[in-house]
Every structure is written in structure tokens, then in C-alpha cells.
Amino acid sequence: MKRHFHNIILIGMAGAGKSTVGALLARRTGFTFLDTDLLIARQQGRPIQEVLDLLGPDGFSRLEDAVLLSLDLRHHVIATGGSGIYCHAGMEHLRSQGIVILLEAGLDALTERVRNLDSRGLVNPGGGSFAELYRQRLPLYRRYADLTVATSGCGPAEVCRTILDAVRPRLCRTREAGDREG
């Protein structure tokens, strides 16, 4: 694990809990929360699914990579879109700015949690099933992760505690209020 870092970056499949856990981590650390899918939607002025429909998977990946490369932040919890791992340059850039944590859930748990595949902006370059996409992405997630935290069968608070226990000694903070779990 990196010696010290200024950001916490969450990666993982749709339904792994990046946005939910990310917001909770931000509150408990005093960091600012940023969801890159929401950032892209806001910048484009339309829902993420419409952006994907308009640009297609390749165009969306280029946009997502540009957004990841543009981030120069400190004291943030960043939840990437599940397809962020297709953006090698963007992921390497994020790794240089913080610790990358894979929120890993089993396929059964993800399938149960993700019901809106047609409307959630899911980049699926091969057009295969959700299970095929999961098997394709898992090695990429693991390649970029500094730490992996299992989320199947765990609530967001428990996942957050696990992450904080692992990263707190190396977390660079400017606000002592973030030391308290609230």
C-alpha cells in the first residue's frame, strides 16, 4: 500500500456500493465526495445513459478518460464509474493521487442489487451478459486496486469501517474533525 495519500478512490462494478460507501466515507473523513458519473452527467447536461447512448461505448470511454485525467484533487473520496477501469491513463492518474480501493461483490449480490441495466449507463463493449461483463472487468479492477474490500453480505457502515481501519494510518488530512467516526 502507498505510504501516504490524499484521496480515496473507489472502483468496482455497478452495484458494488461505490456511491453509497463513498458518501459515508466522505462524511467520516471530512473529505469531499465526488461521483465521476454524476460529474460527467452534469458536464454534459443529460443523464449518464443519454450520454452513453449519444457517444457510444468508445466515445464515452474517451470522455470518461478525459474527465479522470482532469481531476487534480486533495481530500476527496472519488467514486468512479464502473467502466473507469477501461481508461488506463485516467486510472494511472488517479493512482498517483490516492489509494485505489476495489469494492468487490459477488456476481449474485450484484445481480440482485442492479435491476436497471438498460438505464444506468452501463458501458458494455462486448454487448454480452452482465455475468460476462463482470468476468471481463474483474481482472482490470484487481490490476488497479491497492486494496480490495468485499461488500457482499456487508452493510455500507461495515464496509466503511473496514476501509477506515485499513487506510487511516496513511491518510493525509487537513481537518482533525475527520478523525471521528460520526
Query: What is the model's pLDDT at position 119?
Result: 56
The full DSSP string for 97-149 is HSEEEEEE--HHHHHHH---TTTTT---TT---HHHHHHHHHHHHHHH-SEEE
- In-domain check, residue 180: no
Global pTM reads 0.90
Query: What is the model's pLDDT at position 117?
Result: 63
Q: How many helices and strands (H and E) does the chain possess?
A: 7, 5
Domain range enclosing 85: 7-172
- In-domain check, residue 123: yes
Query: What is the model's pLDDT at position 173?
Result: 62
Q: Total domain count for the chain?
A: 1
- In-domain check, residue 181: no
Query: What is the model's pLDDT at position 153?
Result: 86
CATH number, domain of 117, equals 3.40.50.300
Residue-wise pLDDT for 71-82, tens only, equals: 999 999 999 999
Query: What is the model's pLDDT at position 123?
Result: 81
- In-domain check, residue 112: yes
The list of the chain residues with pLDDT below 70 reads 1-4, 116-121, 173-182
